[in-house]
Amino acid sequence: MNIRPYHDSDEQAVIQVWIECGLVAPQNNPVRDIQRKSKVNPDWFLVGIAQKKVIASCMVGYEGHRGWINYLAVSPTEQRKGYAKRMMEEAERLLREAGCPKINLQVRSSNSKMIAFYERIGFSDDRVTSLGKRLETDKPYAVERQPAKAQKEIEYSFTDTLSDDEVIGLYDANGWSSAQKPEILMRALRGSHSLVTARHGSKLVGLGNAISDGHLVVYYPHLLVHPDYQRKGIGKGIMNEMKARYGHFHQQQLTTDGNAITFYESIGFERSGKTEPMWIYQGDEH
C-alpha cells in the first residue's frame, strides 16, 4: 500500500470506503467534511492506495496543542493486513515532526473493535467526557447502498459437511481465539442443536450455530462471516435461516459485543430488560 495526500479525484472512492466502514452518519456530510479539510492543512488528509485503488484514509489535524485523528478507515476487503496501523504510523510521523506532544481521537463507544485496535497501538482511555457543539448544520448525506451482488449466489445449509481446515480458517480470519482450540471448537460445532453454513460456490464464507432444549429456549453462540464477504447480507441470511427454524420458541437469546448491537437490533432482537450477561470465560476474544 502506498500512502499519499488526498487528490480531488479521490472523493467518491474515499466516501465509498467510509460508507463500507459505517463511518457516514446523517449529521456528518462526507462531501462537506472533505471540502473543509481541503482548506486546512490538506496534505494531512492521507489516502492509502493499492493496485491503483483507494483502500484507506486518515484525516490528521494539529492546532498547536493536540493532534487529532478523524476518518481512519480501511476497506473491509483489505482489513487485517496491517494497513490501519501503517496509516496511523504515517499520521504519527507527521505530528511528531510538527512538534505535537499528544494525539487525541474519538471512537463511538459501541465500536469495540476500533477501541481494541487503538489500545494495541498504544492509546488509552483518558477517562474524560467528550462534548460537542455544531457551529454549522450540514445537509444530510443520502447513502446509496448497492445491492449485495453475492447474496443471490450464497447457499445456506443445515446439512453441510465441514472440513476442519475451512472452519479454522474462517475463525482465524475473524480473529476469534476459539481458532486456537480447533479440536474443541469442531466438537462444539458438530454437537450444536443446529448449524447453518453459508457458501459462495465451494468456499465457506459464514456460519452460525444454535444450542437449544429443542422446545422452549434457543441460544445462538456463534455467528461469523469472512471479512471479504461482510456487509453483503450474509450474516442476516444465516440468522433468517435460524429464525425460520426457531421463531416459534418462547425465547431466542444471544450475547453480543457493542459493535454488533445495531446489526442484531435490525433483525428484531432487543436488549433483555435489565438483565446483565455473566460468564466464566477462558478465551481472549470469542
Beta bridge mates, 5: 46
Q: Helices 164-173 and 182-190: crossing angle, nearest 10°?
A: 110
24 in Cβ contact with 3 (< 8 Å):
no
DSSP state of 64: S
pLDDT of 61: 97
For residues 274 and 272, what is the distance between their CA atoms, to the nearest angstrom? 6
For residues 79 and 277, what is the distance between their CA atoms, to the nearest angstrom? 30
Cell of 67: 493532534
Q: In what order do the strands lie in the sheet with 67-74?
A: 2-5, 45-50, 53-62, 67-74, 103-105
pLDDT tens across 138-180, in order?
887 876 655 444 445 899 999 999 999 999 999 999 999 889 9
pLDDT of 277: 78
73 in Cβ contact with 54 (< 8 Å):
no
Q: Exposure of 214 by Cβ count < 10 A (0-12 exposed, 13-18 middle, 19+ buried)?
A: exposed
The whole model's pTM is what?
0.55
pLDDT of 285: 61
DSSP state of 139: P
Mean pLDDT by groups of 10 residues along the chain of 286 residues: 96 93 83 95 97 96 97 92 96 98 90 88 93 88 56 83 94 91 94 96 94 96 94 92 93 87 88 82 68
Residue 243 one-letter amino acid: K
Instruction: Provide the CATH number for the domain formed by 151-266 in this structure.
Output: 3.40.630.30
151-266 has the same fold as 2-120: yes
Contacts of 234 (CB under 8 A, 6+ apart): 148, 150, 151, 154, 198, 205, 206, 225
Among the listed residues 92, 91, 76, 67, the one whose alpha carbon sits nearest the alpha carbon of residue 23: 76
Cell of 1: 500500500
Phi and psi at 20, nearest 5°, equal -60, -30
**Hey, what CATH class is 2-120 in?**
alpha beta
The residue extents of the domains of the chain are: 2-120, 151-266
